[in-house]
């Protein structure tokens, strides 16, 4: 929990209640989103008031009404305290992202991973982001590597509108192109064989998109950033489990793997950096 929030809640929640809330607070721009576990339902107003009171930059506090779901990866938000809606501007690594926390996916928790990936892009690269959302990975890559070109695809029209606006806000219109539609259609139509790097940040379903990624890769190959959710019982290695999801026939070499975050008890989001020496067009 952010320190000021912890201090504020220490007065109204017990140690064990605080632990229940631990993984469930996200600050995006000037709003705060809480995942309130059922045990704390009755305390939600107290918690929201404490957040508003103790974190002066927070304008409104929302609770997540259900899980992130559907093809667009969105969630319902209910305002508990404060004013205004779910649209806000979030700053990250010198970039600004306009976000609608209800109608398009955005997570501030992936900030370190985005910065890491952006730092790997070399001059002259062409990056294809199959699941670009409101643009954070795509924009950060273009900002950090001034001699690369990025294509940022998303199927959610709201995400695409925000991504296009974010590209303008960050002055990258000459190098980041937002494409609205299904990656399965757009890649074969417009981006076949162009990419030196492909991003696959849809951990629930990325494994269904290997064909699309291999189509996007240049004939000389390239690097893929693959994200997946794996269930790793105690004693097993989540990275090895994720590696089993690579396409069987392609010549792939795992450059590195890491747990990006814990997404549930025993479940991890794993990121793999994978080099394909030559593209296997399917
Ligand atoms: N990369 C972004 C980020 O980190 O904020 C967004 C990642 S979000 C987990 C996954 C995104 O994939 C959603 O915005 C969703 O609309 C999009 N998506 C889902 N299926 C898709 C498809 N078939 N083609 C293109 N985008 C898709």
Probe residue for ligand 1, chosen from 141, 155, 227 as the CB with the greatest number of ligand atoms within 8 Å = 155
Q: How many CB atoms lie within 10 A of CB 121?
A: 21
Q: Using CA positions, which residue lies closest to atom 2 of ligand 1?
A: 133
- What CA–CA distance (Å, rounded) separates 74 from 86? 12
Query: Could you identify the atom of ligand 1 that is nearest to the CA of residue 184?
Result: 23
Distance of CA 10 from the midpoint of ligand 1 (Å): 37
> Which residues, other chains included, contact 88 with Cβ-Cβ below 8 Å and sequence gap of 6+?
28, 29, 30, 31, 59, 98, 99, 101
> Which residues, other chains included, contact 258 with Cβ-Cβ below 8 Å and sequence gap of 6+?
239, 270, 271
Q: What CA–CA distances, in Å, run from 207 to 69, 225, 276?
A: 17, 12, 16
**What is the per-residue pLDDT for 69?**
95
Residue with tokens 């996007």: 216
Q: Which residues line ligand 1 (CB under 6 A)?
A: 71-73, 105-106, 110, 131-133, 136-137, 153-156, 159, 182-184, 201-202
**What is the per-residue pLDDT for 17?**
87
Query: Could you identify the atom of ligand 1 that is nearest to the CA of residue 203?
Result: 9
Distance of CA 176 from the midpoint of ligand 1 (Å): 17
**What is the per-residue pLDDT for 1?**
67
Q: Using CA positions, which residue lies closest to atom 22 of ligand 1?
A: 182
Tens place of pLDDT per residue across the chain (282 aa): 677 778 878 888 888 888 888 778 899 999 999 999 999 999 999 999 999 988 889 999 999 999 999 999 999 999 999 999 999 999 999 999 999 999 999 999 999 999 999 999 999 999 999 999 999 999 999 999 999 999 999 999 999 999 999 999 999 999 999 999 999 999 999 999 999 999 999 999 999 999 999 999 999 999 999 999 999 999 999 999 999 999 987 789 999 999 998 888 899 999 999 999 876 655
- What CA–CA distance (Å, rounded) separates 23 from 133? 23
Structure tokens at 7: 């201090």
Which pTM does this prediction carry? Answer: 0.95
The continuous run of DSSP H or E covering 126 comes out as: strand 126-129
- What CA–CA distance (Å, rounded) separates 104 from 198? 21
């Amino acid at each position: 929990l952010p320190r000021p929030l912890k201090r504020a809640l220490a007065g109204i929640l017990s140690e064990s209640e605080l632990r229940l809330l631990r993984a469930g607070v996200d600050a995006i721009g000037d709003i705060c989103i809480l995942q309130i576990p059922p045990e704390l339902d009755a305390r939600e107003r107290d918690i929201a008031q404490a957040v508003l009171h103790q974190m002066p930059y927070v304008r409104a506090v929302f609770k997540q009404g259900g899980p992130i779901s559907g093809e667009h990866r969105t969630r319902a938000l209910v305002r508990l305290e404060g004013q205004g809606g779910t649209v806000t501007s979030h700053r990250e690594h010198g970039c600004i992202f306009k976000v609608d926390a209800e109608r398009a996916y955005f997570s501030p928790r992936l900030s370190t991973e985005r910065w890491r990936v952006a730092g790997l892009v070399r001059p002259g690269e062409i990056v294809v982001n199959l699941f670009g959302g409101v643009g954070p990975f795509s924009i950060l890559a273009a900002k950090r590597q001034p001699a690369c070109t990025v294509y940022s695809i998303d199927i959610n029209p709201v995400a695409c509108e925000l991504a296009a606006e974010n590209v303008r806000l960050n002055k990258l219109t000459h190098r980041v192109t937002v494409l609205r539609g299904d990656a399965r259609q757009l890649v074969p139509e417009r981006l076949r064989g162009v990419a030196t790097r492909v991003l696959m940040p849809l951990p629930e379903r990325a494994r269904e998109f290997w064909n699309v990624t291999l189509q996007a890769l240049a004939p000389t190959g390239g690097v893929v950033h693959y994200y997946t959710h794996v269930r790793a019982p105690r004693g097993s290695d989540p990275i090895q489990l994720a590696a089993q999801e690579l396409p069987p026939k392609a010549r792939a070499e795992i450059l590195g793997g890491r747990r990006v975050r814990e997404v549930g008890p025993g479940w991890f989001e794993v990121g793999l950096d994978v080099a394909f020496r030559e593209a296997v067009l399917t």
